Amino acid sequence: MSESGRRRRITLAHSPDSDDAFMFYALAKGKVDDRGFAFMHELHDIETLNLRAQEGFYDITAISFHAYPFVRHHYRLMQCGASVGESYGPIIVSRRPMTINDLEEATVAVAGQLTTSFLALKLMAPGVRTKVVPFDRIMDEVKKGNVDAGLVIHEGQLTFAKEKLNRIIDVGEWWTRETGLPLPLGGNAIRRDIDKKTALKCCDALRDSIVYALEHRAEALDHALQYARGLDRKLADKFVGMYVNQFTVELGKRGEDAVALLFRLGHEAGLIPELVEPEFVD
């Protein structure tokens, strides 16, 4: 029997992005204690992960925080692994100059209706129309004129200017200005039917992986570059720095408060059916 066959298998799903690759590098390469588990990495775009989380598909999965109220019967949130922006986040871009007021009568391409970027957009511009487009095709849709604007996530936040697109507004900047809190975009969730002792060990293993990457930045960045989608090393390092930070190691009270506020405002706007309190395993 193989070594992995003797250990409990834990499916761990996350996006094929440089920031996720950076934070999970040490766990994937055996650089930290796996606490006796065989972590099986599954890579999918965030919309796929959000939808599969509705079925409780993976043991541990990255999800948009907006998706949590819709999957909470399957999952609890983890304190580690969050992507949080302090006065920055997804950016709305367009071919022609536009203002935030123009968005109320515009069609904006989004990566999915369960993404936090979609929720923040609707909170900012309630009348906006949206069209779901794979995240890596959003800027092309804008350039072709198929939509008025696009809400770019992941590396597009740093590369839209190269595509000769105009920046309308940074949704994360708007959120922090309005609330005084960082914008919690995504986090990790673990299945409720996993016992607490096992869940806490998984949390420790993931947290160790994040800390290792931050302490061995060049080494982890070398690994992350293969997922950087057109970013050079300098920009990839900048992007990783945006979304692997102190909130990623431990969400903490400010992070928890931001998640709770996101849920409350989403509910008050009719975008989240029930008022949900975030529930963390640790």
Q: What residues are annotated to the active site?
A: 154
DSSP letters along 70-135, please? HHTTTEEE-SSS-EEESS---EEEESS---GGGGGG-EEEES-TTSHHHHHHHHH-TT-EEEE--G
pLDDT for 161 equals 85
Pairing of strands 183-191, 107-110: unpaired
With left for phi above 0 and alpha for psi between -120 and 50, is residue 33 left, alpha or beta?
beta
pLDDT for 229 equals 79
pLDDT for 5 equals 56
Rounded to 5 degrees, φ, ψ at 77 are: -80, 155
Angle between helices 196-215 and 18-28 in degrees, nearest 10: 110
Q: What residue ranges of the chain have pLDDT lower than 70?
A: 1-5
pLDDT for 271 equals 97
Q: Could you report the per-residue pLDDT of 211-267, keeping only the tens digit for each?
A: 999 999 999 999 999 988 778 899 999 999 999 999 999 999 999 999 999 999 999
In this structure, what token pair is assigned to residue 8? Answer: 């409990």
**Domains of the chain, start order:** 3-84+183-268 (3.40.190.10), 91-179 (3.40.190.10)
Q: Could you report the per-residue pLDDT of 113-137, keeping only the tens digit for each?
A: 999 999 999 999 999 999 999 988 9
Q: What are the b/e assignments for 152-167, b being 16+ CB within 10 Å?
A: bbbbbbbbbeeeebee
